[in-house]
Structure 1
Amino acid sequence: MTPVRQHRTVADLAPLARAALGRHRTLAAVTRLRGGSKKGVYRLHLDDSRTAVAYVWSPDEDYWDQPDADPRDPFSHASGLGLFTASHDRLAAVGVRTPRLLHVDEAAGAAVVEDLSGGSLEEALRRDPDAAGPALRQLAEALRLLRDCRSAGHGKVALVDRGGTAYGDSCARLVTERALSDIAETALRDPRAAAARARLEEGVRSLAGEVRPRAGHGLVHGELGPDHVLLDDAGRPALIDIEGLMYFDPEWEHVFLRLRFGPHYAGLRAPGLDEDRLRLYRLAMHLNLVAGPLRLLDGDFPRPEFMRGIAEYNLGQALSLTGCAS
């Protein structure tokens, strides 16, 4: 049975707000912000008209219904206060902007961060691409800083920065194995994928065979669309939804950037990316963006048509890339 979602109220979040922002302030209202599928994101409205944002990690707030994630799996469910704080600390050390952390409540699995007032980069690009140009250039510089933060091992920041070792002997092998798993899962849910399964698997294996070994990894956000970049009051970009931050091949980041930024990706393109990895990772990304949304639709995600649209588009792309499109 699908659980009844219990979203937080003023009474629920008042103790967190007092601890984060001071006992002399009163929490007047809360607004649950749209978009999050793994955690609850709430704007806290204080009695002096100031605001902050609370993140709450809880099964009630997570539509993916995932069991405890294995930290050694780079692609395991990226949700939780520990992942968030480790990623926040690493980004701060690298010099990449993210909303300032105001308070952490480990017992409640919650954190409070500053509320950035400039909207998202997605909104800015839609409204006036020329005016958003400086923010896009600053984001490109942030991506360079991430690439330049190197690690011999791959895996989630929370694991690697504490001396842990992730599964897999290479990023390309991990991506290949997950792509094949995504094909198998999607074939159970969509007859077109089932009919094309052998061709899709052949396409993944063929592209994987072209990828040559590589030493070293940089930092990647993993889901860096323009909706995951907020602007502060000076128009500077700040990364959000950072729990999946990991050391990995930068090509994985760039196939997602190209997909989500579309015509604006040219301003983010990086030199020296490996074309063989880009081809493999592009197909694998499309396959994952079919399997993931279809899995989410098994539950009670509140915007099913949005997720169906993502799955439909990416299935079409995957079939086209492997010569299966009609």
Structure 2
Amino acid sequence: MLKKLIELVRGKRVMLCTHWDADGVASGALIYHIIKPFALEINTVSKGKPFQIMKEDISEGSEVIICTDIQPSSEVLDMDAKIAYIDHHPFDAVNKVDFAVYDPDAQSAASLIFEKLMPDTNNPYFVFLALLGYFGDQGDRDAIPDTLRRKAFELIPELMQKRQSYYSDSYYYDIERYVSLLNTGKRRNWNGDIPLELLKTTDHYEPIVMGYHPLMEVLHSYKMELKSLYEQDVEVMDFGVAHCIIISNKKNIQGVLAAKHMKDKPIMVLNTVDDEVIGSLRVPDGFEFDAGSFLSAFNGKIEGFLGGGHEKAAGFTFSKKHLDLFLSMVKGCKTS
């Protein structure tokens, strides 16, 4: 499978497209470093609004388009270019691409790349990236795939040290501290271009964990800028099937607010930005509720609605003019 990917990009102009979150930029960086020695040129974009790669995202002259952790739109699939799709999100058009690494049961795109393309790697940076993506998509600490876990303790043991959580009786691994930092790009700039550039422009994790890569200072400044926004007062409304918060903020902070205010049932935060609503849905551990499936059910029922994701975390966008309709439909959903 790895050989097929290399032959697909060899001597070609490649457009590498990723989702804007930690798994998106980590999986994108993995593919970037894999194909860099073989491709003629690699341009990149990291986005999430909308949760699709559109024709206007593609650089002119691209001969191969690679999408990691994000889907190509129908118009991209119709372009005169080879399409590679590397993801774990359900995708009905996977049979239309030229190359696929696809498993909807995988925890993350980055861990999927590790499993399918490089399980025998002894590259510490590749293991670092695979774990960042795994934890970025809420991977269970006690369920890390066996090969990835073994390689992590073998190649990056200092980042697999257990730390006591400040907020609960549980623990976390040292490497998990870098996930939130990678997400600051999408929250401040509505794209993951800076975090992706960070991961592209080094071939070892040391400049990141030691903090001397120039872009680490940029991401830390983003983190400090965003911190005050997370402390804002909000009204939590009970819509039966889920709690709901509505905000209006130019920054992409709805996911953090959802995680912060989540209690005993799912919670969604809707952010009205200009003429659009961008939302995040989170589900507490132990609660039987599939966030991705819940939101996917609205696709096609509300004009322009695009939603989906994972069991515990999902996102959605739609036109602000349909806000009242969406809220009434949520209120009408049956609780389990």
Per the TM superposition, whether the score is higher than 0.5 is no
TM-score by length of structure 2 reads: 0.25
TM-score by length of structure 1 reads: 0.25
Task: Return the structure number with greater relative CO, CA threshold 8 A, min gap 6.
Answer: 1
Which structure carries more strand by proportion? 2
